[in-house]
């Protein structure tokens, strides 16, 4: 049979966990914490282990912190302090409880936080209405979308049902006969659902009762808001985060066939370019105009050229005019690599270079640095010239020849070679995220050194809709798949709270 939507589990991974399915431990706040730092003696790992980690506060914490997520800038073991990127609503107090995860390797048993219900995160702080007593919402599926959730209880028949909106049909009724936990109640489309706990003795008899709640998307639970902090050194970077999807069906043949994944993206309808031809080699900010961008964001977002299958980054928008950042990223294939290249290094075309670039990622596909025959690809940023590195050029690290080109470098963002944009090209706001798949080996996933290092062997692509989705052939009952999210952050990028880290799924 086809698994129902509630049988898709999404889990946080963490490299600290020893065994697949381990729980994320509860951590306890100590005294002396502030809105920008959490003091704790619950962490024993060395300084910097938790850099880049994501955390959230549990249900036994201060009320204003329950379900609130945060992103760790730096962990210092000597002071037992987590420095975080954005201020918390209030300062944590001693005894507040939080969970923390970082990196890949092992899927935990902790569900990824889903929709907020009237401003609260039900996984950490169950939500109950005033009219439908005895029912507590513990999760609201992202497939419900944002809007008004109506929960209806018929006291005469003890039936519970839901709908999105305040008018229209409810989903199928579920008859309540006793206490139950994590009971799914479906919307009429049978895709969106809530999970509820029921205390049967507290249900109201006879009459019908309705509660309404506002569903909103949580921010920062997968893609944290700290780009401005990360790029204040003048260099962009990429971030990589893993989420693990599991078919929780107990029968192995209950498969999620044609398991499909795609990303959320900013609001805004497609439009056409009206002026401003852009060469793919431009190394300075550019301006173009479109026919109608009135529904688009106003600053700090990606735009996708559907005609040319290419990306640019919009610094800001004024009416229908888009002000674009320079294309100062690119890709370079190499051979005869004989000096180990690391992210953050500057390479040049000579020992006294006229062309330089900063290395963001290094992918060695064969050979080795020590043998002098490493072959692979460099992801480059911060080009200082409109010229490219040559197809057979020797590239230098300081005074040493580090490697030899194996193809002309190409400018472009997010692994895509930049194209010429011109009038009548179709443009739309693009997701901040690219996706790639990681199948586990003996239950374990790839475990990069930090969130700015790519998982080796994962191919990333742009998957903005169900029509243009990433497809895994099938996910059998009990099987898991790792989904890596890549975010490309250009230098000088402002931190944004509205990054859409949504993942959508479908199967049959």
Rounded to an integer, what distance in angstroms lies between the CA atom of residue 37 and that of residue 72? 9
Tokens matching residue 377:
């690809």
Same fold, 17-101 and 271-327+415-430: yes
Q: Are 51 and 74 in contact (CB under 8 A)?
A: yes
For tokens 């509630």, what's the residue? 6
CATH of domain 271-327+415-430: 2.40.30
Any residues with CB less than 8 A from the CB of 505 and at least 6 apart, and which?
8, 245, 259, 260, 261
For tokens 């009429």, what's the residue? 188
Mean pLDDT of 58-68: 94
Cα angle, residue 90 at apex, residues 85 and 94 outer, rounded to 5°: 100
Any residues with CB less than 8 A from the CB of 320 and at least 6 apart, and which?
274, 289, 290, 291, 292, 293, 294
What are the residue ranges spanned by the domains of the chain?
17-101, 116-216, 227-265+431-506, 271-327+415-430, 329-411
- Distance from the first to the final alpha carbon of the chain: 10
Distances (CA, A) of 435 to 357, 363, 459: 26, 17, 8
Specify whether domain 227-265+431-506 bears CATH 1.10.443.
Answer: no
Q: Give the tens place of pLDDT for each residue, 414-461.
A: 989 999 999 999 999 999 999 999 999 999 999 998 889 999 999 999
CATH of domain 17-101: 2.40.30
Q: Give the tens place of pLDDT for each residue, 283-309.
A: 788 999 999 999 999 989 999 999 999
Q: Are 7 and 84 in contact (CB under 8 A)?
A: no
Residue 85 DSSP code: S
SS3 of 318-376: the string is ECCEEEECCCCEEEEEEEEECCCCCCCCEEECCCCCCCEEEEEEEEEEECCCCCCCEEE
Q: Give the tens place of pLDDT for each residue, 65-112.
A: 999 999 999 999 999 999 998 899 999 999 999 999 998 999 999 999
Distances (CA, A) of 32 to 37, 41, 64, 498: 9, 12, 18, 31
Q: What is the pLDDT of residue 255?
A: 96
């Amino acid at each position: 049979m086809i698994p129902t939507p509630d049988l898709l589990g999404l889990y946080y991974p963490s490299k600290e966990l020893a065994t697949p399915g381990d729980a994320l431990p509860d951590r306890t706040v100590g005294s002396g914490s502030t809105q920008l730092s959490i003091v704790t003696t619950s962490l024993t790992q060395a300084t910097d282990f938790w850099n880049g980690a994501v955390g959230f506060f549990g249900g036994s914490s201060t009320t204003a912190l329950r379900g609130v997520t945060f992103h760790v800038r730096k962990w210092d073991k000597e002071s037992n302090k987590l420095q975080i990127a954005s201020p918390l609503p209030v300062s944590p107090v001693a005894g507040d409880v939080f969970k923390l995860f970082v990196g890949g390797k092992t899927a935990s048993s902790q569900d990824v936080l889903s929709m907020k219900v009237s401003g609260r995160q039900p996984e950490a702080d169950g939500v109950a209405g005033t009219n439908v007593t005895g029912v507590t919402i513990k999760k609201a599926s992202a497939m419900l979308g944002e809007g008004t959730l109506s929960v209806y209880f018929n006291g005469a028949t003890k039936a519970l049902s839901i709908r999105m909106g305040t008018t229209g049909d409810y989903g199928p009724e579920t008859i309540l006969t006793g206490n139950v936990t994590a009971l799914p109640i479906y919307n009429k489309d049978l895709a969106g659902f809530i999970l509820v706990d029921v205390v049967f003795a507290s249900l109201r008899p006879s009459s019908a009762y309705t509660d309404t709640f506002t569903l909103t998307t949580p921010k920062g639970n997968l893609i944290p808001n700290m780009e401005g902090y990360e790029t204040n050194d003048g260099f962009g970077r990429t971030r990589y985060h893993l989420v693990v999807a599991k078919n929780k069906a107990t029968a192995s043949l209950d498969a999620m066939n044609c398991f499909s994944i795609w990303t959320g993206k900013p609001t805004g309808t497609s439009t056409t370019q009206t002026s401003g031809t852009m060469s793919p080699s431009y190394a300075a900010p550019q301006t173009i105009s479109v026919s109608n961008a009135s529904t688009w964001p106003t600053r700090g977002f990606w735009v996708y050229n559907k005609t040319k299958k290419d990306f640019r980054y919009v610094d800001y928008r004024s009416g229908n005019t888009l002000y674009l950042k320079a294309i100062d990223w690119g890709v370079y294939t190499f051979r005869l690599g004989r000096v180990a290249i690391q992210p953050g290094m500057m390479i040049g075309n000579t020992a006294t270079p006229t062309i330089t670039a900063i290395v963001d990622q290094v992918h060695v596909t064969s050979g080795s640095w020590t043998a002098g025959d490493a072959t692979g690809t460099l992801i480059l940023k911060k080009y200082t010239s409109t010229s490219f590195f040559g197809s057979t050029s020797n590239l230098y690290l300081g005074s040493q020849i580090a490697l030899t080109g194996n193809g002309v470098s190409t400018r472009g963002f997010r692994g895509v070679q930049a194209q010429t944009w011109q009038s009548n090209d179709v443009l739309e706001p693009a997701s901040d995220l690219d996706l790639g798949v990681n199948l586990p080996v003996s239950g374990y996933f790839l475990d990069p050194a930090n969130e700015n290092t790519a998982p080796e062997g994962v191919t990333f692509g742009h998957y903005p809709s169900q029509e243009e989705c990433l497809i895994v052939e099938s996910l059998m009952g009990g099987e898991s798949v790792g989904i890596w999210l890549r975010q490309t952050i250009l230098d000088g990028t402002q931190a944004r709270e509205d990054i859409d880290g949504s993942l959508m799924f479908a199967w049959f």
